[in-house]
Amino acid sequence: MKKVLNVGGSSKSIPLPPQYEGWDHVLLDIDPKGNPDVLCDARELITLPESVYDSVFCSHNLEHYYHHDAKKVLAGFSHVLKADGFVFIIVPDMYAVMQTMIEKNLDIKDVLYQSPAGPIKVRDVIYGYGVQIERSGCDFFAHKTGFTQKSLTEILDEAGFSWIFTGLDYLEIFAFAFKDEPSDYLTKLLNITKP
């Protein structure tokens, strides 16, 4: 059975994307409240066993590290990932956030969109979800860096991922990254086209 390491996913009650249907879901988180399978700071992934996972999934977590630490996190992804595996990352699209802010004449305190968790203000996307940070008292919920499509591609490339496919969703960037050329199985599974 294929294994996915869900980095910073908070809880297994949050469903994974459909690409992972039938996979063994291993949750890694720094916060013990979500009962992670692996209690670990993602900057320390390099201390875990090598080449164990078929995929690393990281949704809205990479921005919680300073830029230099995000490089450590990605090095850890490469370390735990099998040679033929892939990384699936989702981060806020800071370019789209800034563009929307200007087009809609929004202030940093204005609501950018409504989420299931409640209203998300411009500052929540830039600095982290204020309600959660205040309620928890944990600064690891704060955002410490941001990405554009170009900068996410560059940091993945610097981390040794040779094949990178990115796309945009509403105020989000997603990326599939591979150390080696993706197999036909993975290009079909992820609906990506090799150049």
What pLDDT, on the 0 to 100 scale, is given for residue 195?
79
What range does the domain containing 42 cover? 3-92+143-190
13: in domain: yes
What pLDDT, on the 0 to 100 scale, is given for residue 40?
94
88: in domain: yes
- Cα(70)–Cα(78) distance, rounded to whole angstroms? 12
Considering the entire predicted model, what is its pTM? 0.94
What pLDDT, on the 0 to 100 scale, is given for residue 5?
98
155: in domain: yes
103: in domain: no
pLDDT in tens, the chain (195 residues): 999 999 999 999 999 999 999 999 999 999 898 899 999 999 999 999 999 999 999 999 999 999 999 999 999 999 999 999 999 999 999 999 999 999 999 999 999 999 888 999 999 999 998 888 888 887 878 999 999 999 999 999 999 999 999 999 999 999 999 999 999 999 999 999 987
172: in domain: yes
The answer to whether 22 touches 4, Cβ cutoff 8 Å, is: no
In this structure, are strands 163-169 and 172-178 parallel, antiparallel, or unpaired? antiparallel
**For residue 15, what are its two tokens?**
């469903």
Number of domains in the chain: 1
Smallest Cα–Cα separation from 145: which of 59, 68, 75? Answer: 68
106: in domain: no
Q: 160: domain CATH number?
A: 3.40.50.150
What pLDDT, on the 0 to 100 scale, is given for residue 81?
98
